[in-house]
Amino acid sequence: MLRLIVSLQTISDYLDNLCDRLMVTEPSAFRVLHYSFLDALNPYASLQDYYLLYPYSETVYLSRLVQTCQELLTAVPYYEELQPTALKLGTYYCELQTLKHVPQYGEKLLQDWTAQTFGTKLAWNEWAAAAGSTLGLFFLFAVSFKPPPPNMDEMVEAYFPWIQGLHILLDYFIDLEEDRAHGDLNFMSFYSSEHTKYGSLQRFAAESRQRTPSLPYPSFHQTVIQGLIALYGSDRKVQEQGLKKIVEALASDTGAQTMLYLCTLLRNLSFIP
């Protein structure tokens, strides 16, 4: 299980780096690169030329990562039953990564895509943030070792959009000033006011917590939520940007407060960068 998660996350990080470099701006190049991510979720997919439209190529690294994921997934007893859901979440992730890396037009492309795909239950930047996390995929891998429960759709919704959205919004939350300075797209910068911005974080945290009782091993998923708040909330950029009170409000339960304290202590002792 751990090797599967590491292999898929390595593909994700590698592709993100490729899309950020070499001054490539063509979304079709990014989309073909991300076929590798979707193929990694399909144990019986044939390997493709993932660098077909990209001005760099290699023949070993990315393909081997894809094959590793495929091989490991064939050993997961009930993954085949949940594969359509995994591919749906994977498709959302790949489209988000493809569009957000398009210079100048990324925002408009994302607005159009989220409106057509998800509707207006959430703001476009919130849908985009939710699409950008891989936590739901890891959840699907874990539950695929047993027969899927009847409330699987409800369980998936706990992760998409809520826990995944909280994950990525927190990531952008601590990078607000840095992204503003570099002119980078930041999903937290599109709220009309500070009140709306931080209210969104509160909503995602509250909705995530409310949905964990329906999940198997609910205390584990509650720990995931607490850990996200603690990990991002203890980052030194929080203190530098004067965001400490907002983080403390998010850490509204004892578990999150304890984790936040411990993560802050570990950062001060340089055990966490």
Whole-model pTM: value is 0.94
Question: pLDDT, tens digit, for every residue of 159-170?
Answer: 999 999 999 999
Residue pair 220/160 in contact (Cβ under 8 Å)? The answer is no
Distance separating alpha carbons of residues 146 and 28, to the nearest angstrom: 38
Distance separating alpha carbons of residues 222 and 139, to the nearest angstrom: 13
Distance separating alpha carbons of residues 8 and 28, to the nearest angstrom: 21
Work out whether the CA dihedral 160, 168, 71, 11 comes out positive or negative.
positive
Question: pLDDT, tens digit, for every residue of 54-98?
Answer: 999 998 999 999 999 999 999 999 999 999 999 999 999 999 999
Q: What is the pLDDT of residue 80?
A: 96
Average pLDDT score over residue span 26-51? 96
Q: What is the pLDDT of residue 47?
A: 96
Q: What is the pLDDT of residue 20?
A: 82
Annotated domain spans of the chain: 1-75, 84-268
Cβ contacts of 5 within 8 Å, gap of 6 or more: 138, 141
Chain mean pLDDT for the chain: 93
Residue with tokens 């037009």: 105
Quick one: 75 exposed, middle or buried, by C-beta within 10 A (0-12, 13-18, 19+)?
A: exposed
